[in-house]
Amino acid sequence: MMKLKKVFFTLPLILLSMNSQSLFSQNTKSVVIEYQEKRAVNEEKIKNLPERIQQVVRAKSKWRKSVLIHNEEGSYYMLQDKIEDKTVTVSDTQKRTVKVGQKVFFNDFLTNNSYQELRMYNENVLIKDKLNKYKWELLSETKKINDIVCKKATTTNEHGRTVVAWYTDKFGITNGPQGYYGLPGLIVYLDDGKYTFKMDKVSFSDKKLDLLKPSKNANVVTPEEYMNNYVNGKSSKSQRGNTTTTRRRVQN
């Protein structure tokens, strides 16, 4: 994956005031939203895992910086942890640097598709889904978070967990961390029962930032295929060649 620090320091970003909705529509080409995220850890469930694995899981329970890069065509979201880079060859002429163990979430506003890219068993896997996959219930309750008046919404995610989100229309964009999308505003705070996300800062640029794109050589699967081929016991067979997974190029 590309190094995100280059995004922040090579293009001018302007932090605008809270009444920025009209400014975004007239002057802004890109938006950078800085978040923090952390994962809930059940010590009882991990106590029998190898110590190295326990350390990795506990590291995710601390707040970690993440970033959402947004423009009119789409967006991507990823962590900014300073963890080991690994360069992998994705074709005869192209190499790609990925963060080990890191997921990247893409939204394509032109095709209404979302993608989640991750490394599984030494291959890039791209989970393709609908952009507006969540059925949000918009509630009347409001709360001030970091001096921003936010509205409450709830939904149920693909794992059956209740998701509580707080969002604002102050910034004139619709988006959120990871794959959470579809609210009439920007998500400021979200808890999905496993991960918690909170927004730190919103920056605007009058230049169009280049978006990181999904790998064209990834194995594109549906959420159902991902669960069957990589999560529910079939991945080990796939590694030995006993289970065939369909390999497709990224298609809109």
| Whole-number pLDDT of residue 78 | 92
The better pLDDT of the pair 61, 8 is held by 61
Q: Which of 44-58, 164-178, 197-211 shows the lowest mean pLDDT across its residues?
A: 44-58
| Whole-number pLDDT of residue 46 | 84
How is residue 167 written in tokens?
A: 């969002």
| Whole-number pLDDT of residue 153 | 98
Q: Which amino acid is at 228?
A: N
Whether 1 shows a pLDDT value over 70: the answer reads no
Question: Backbone dihedral region of 195: left (phi > 0), alpha (psi from -120 to 50 degrees) or beta?
Answer: beta
Distances (CA, A) of 46 to 40, 53, 69, 160, 191: 12, 8, 34, 21, 21
Distances (CA, A) of 190 to 30, 78, 82, 241, 249: 23, 16, 24, 40, 33
Whether 100 shows a pLDDT value over 60: the answer reads no
| Whole-number pLDDT of residue 56 | 80
CA angle 134, 138, 144 (to 5 degrees): 115
Range among 41-55, 57-71, 110-124, 165-179 with highest mean pLDDT value: 165-179
Whether 47 shows a pLDDT value over 60: the answer reads yes
Q: Residue 171 in contact with residue 24, Cβ under 8 Å?
A: yes
CA angle 29, 30, 32 (to 5 degrees): 160
Coil vs helix vs strand at 149 = strand
| pLDDT tier, 249 (very low <50, low <70, confident <90, very high otherwise) | very low
Q: How far apart are CA 33 and CA 202, in angstroms?
A: 5
Q: How far apart are CA 213 and CA 74, in angstroms?
A: 10
Strand-pairing partners, residue 120, are: 123
Beta strands 137-145 and 30-39 are unpaired
Range among 27-31, 51-55, 169-173 with highest mean pLDDT value: 169-173
Letter string b/e over residues 22-40, b meaning 16 or more CB atoms within 10 A of that residue's CB? ebbeeebebbbbebbbeee
| Whole-number pLDDT of residue 22 | 37
Q: Residue 116 in contact with residue 105, Cβ under 8 Å?
A: yes
How buried is 236 (Cβ within 10 angstroms: 0-12 exposed, 13-18 middle, 19+ buried)? Answer: exposed
Whether 84 shows a pLDDT value over 90: the answer reads no
Whether 191 shows a pLDDT value over 50: the answer reads yes
Whether 238 shows a pLDDT value over 60: the answer reads no
| Whole-number pLDDT of residue 81 | 67
Size (the chain), residues: 252
What mean pLDDT is predicted for residues 184-208?
Answer: 95
**What share of the chain has pLDDT > 90, as a percent?**
48
The pLDDT tens digits for 60-71 are: 888 999 999 999
Q: How far apart are CA 201 and CA 32, in angstroms?
A: 8
What mean pLDDT is predicted for residues 82-87?
Answer: 44
